[in-house]
Amino acid sequence: MPDVTSLGTALARARSWVRAHPLASDGVLAAAVLAGMVLGSFAEPHAGPGGPTFGTRTPDPLNVLLMVIGAGALVFRRRAPMPVLLCTGGLTLLDLFTGHPPAPVVFSAVIALYNVGAHTDRPTTWRVGLATMGVLTAVAMWLSPEPWYAQQNLSIFAWTGMASAAGDAVRSRRGFIDAIRERAERAERTREEEARRRVAEERLRIARDLHDVVAHHIALVNVQAGVASHVMDKRPDQAKEALAHVREASRSALNELRATVGLLRQSGDPAAPTEPAPGLAHIDGLLDTFRHAGLPVEFAADGADGTDGPGSSLPAAVDLAAYRIIQEALTNVRKHAGQAAKAEVSVVRVGATIEITVLDDGKGTGEPADGGGHGLIGMRERVTALGGTLTAGPRYGGGFRTQAILPVMNRTGENA
């Protein structure tokens, strides 16, 4: 497997280099074609019954010049496909008229014809291919001292036809792959846009509900408070009644506000807070709950758990966010990492920031495979609201890693 991986990496690098240096890669191709043509010009295809022989003939200077010009024209095959084909085709015709037997200059025309097929549309490919194939084959049959059906004449017909077909096939495959890639990218953009749109619509709906609830009850409280203030001295009983209405309206507003905000809570969250907001000082209890649930958890802290170390006291918002991030990350480990997974939690104070890292060695992704989980989204929104950063993704060698970096100091150097 390492050998296969190394080979794949080498091929990918070579492909990237070819894309980045097209002129240089075409120069290498032209040199290889020239070497092949020069080698073939020393071969005599029908010198004996055993097949072609080498060294029985030598190309004349004109043949060599035509081969050099034909190979040199291939350097510009990407920039000017049609002019290169016309040039190499003309050189092939000149070779057929002057060379007896001709040199293999036709191979430069074959490469140029393939390039036309790979970089133009299908109708152009077949029109140009049939014209090139017909003209070169007809001239070769007309001028050949051998019978018209001789092998060297039919080989021109075969090579030019295969070049056109191969170029068209490569162009079709490239277009197919590009179309698949474009559809995949468009589908991904559509999913992301749809998700953002639904989130925005839901938040707008909740914001409107909050506005309606708060506006209605605050208006009622304002009216009743005004009445109480007006009649406080002269009619205290009526003032008490107005204050009772104020208390009832405020209680109703709080209940409706709690119910509306509850729509944003996760399914496992309590309906209403029944104890002070947790923080890193209560982290041991949180970790014990996961340990009792069957998840081994190791914890390490360095001056950031609120118990020791310089500057260990954290702002309330940061302390709560750190606790919730650890809670959500361990919940994801418990749900998605597998039964045999283990977790490691570290909280480190680094200058004006605190780093919270949760690692596991399980086989899960930290979120449901269908992308339906909202844990990472909620953590990212919480961290972003505090001006921090969150990274989450698979670990090299297996497992998942979640890391949050939260600012502890503000720009003036005081606690945030």
Indicate the pLDDT class of residue 413, thresholds 50, 70 and 90.
very low
**In this model, does residue 115 exceed pLDDT 50?**
yes
Closest CA relative to residue 84, chosen from 71, 93, 97, 94: 71
Indicate the pLDDT class of residue 355, thresholds 50, 70 and 90.
very high
Write out pLDDT tens, residues 176-209.
888 898 888 888 888 888 877 877 776 676 666 6
Q: How far apart are CA 361 and CA 285, in angstroms?
A: 23
Q: How far apart are CA 360 and CA 355, in angstroms?
A: 17
Contact 91, 105 (CB under 8 A): yes
Indicate the pLDDT class of residue 368, thresholds 50, 70 and 90.
very low
Indicate the pLDDT class of residue 414, thresholds 50, 70 and 90.
very low
Neighbours of 21 (CB within 10 A): 12
Which stretch, 54-68, 137-151, 345-359, has highest mean pLDDT?
345-359
Write out pLDDT tens, residues 389-402.
999 888 887 888 89
* Sheet of 400-407, strand order: 297-302, 343-350, 353-360, 400-407, 389-394
Q: Which residue has the higher pLDDT, 38 or 167?
A: 167
Q: How far apart are CA 255 and CA 217, in angstroms?
A: 11
Average pLDDT over residues 165-184: 87
First to last CA, the chain: 52
Tell me how far the alpha carbon of residue 360 is from its chain's centroid.
Answer: 24
Write out pLDDT tens, residues 13-65.
766 766 666 677 777 877 888 887 777 777 666 545 555 666 566 777 887 88
Contact 164, 113 (CB under 8 A): yes
pTM of the full predicted structure? 0.45
Look at residue 12 in the predicted model and tell me its pLDDT. Answer: 67
What is the rounded average pLDDT for all residues in the chain?
76
Indicate the pLDDT class of residue 345, thresholds 50, 70 and 90.
very high
Alpha-helical regions (H) of 149-296: 151-231, 236-261, 283-292
- The encoded tokens of residue 211 equal 């506005």
Q: How far apart are CA 79 and CA 68, in angstroms?
A: 19
Q: How far apart are CA 386 and CA 323, in angstroms?
A: 14
Q: Which residues contact 105 (CB under 8 A, 6 or more apart)?
A: 37, 63, 66, 67, 70, 88, 91, 92, 95
**In this model, does residue 100 exceed pLDDT 70?**
no
11-15, 103-107, 220-224, 363-367: least confidently modelled range:
363-367
**In this model, does residue 371 exceed pLDDT 60?**
no
Q: How far apart are CA 231 and CA 227, in angstroms?
A: 6
Which stretch, 204-218, 223-237, 353-367, has highest mean pLDDT?
353-367
Write out pLDDT tens, residues 226-282.
777 777 777 777 777 777 777 777 777 666 666 666 655 544 555 545 455 678 888
**In this model, does residue 132 exceed pLDDT 70?**
yes
**In this model, does residue 142 exceed pLDDT 90?**
no
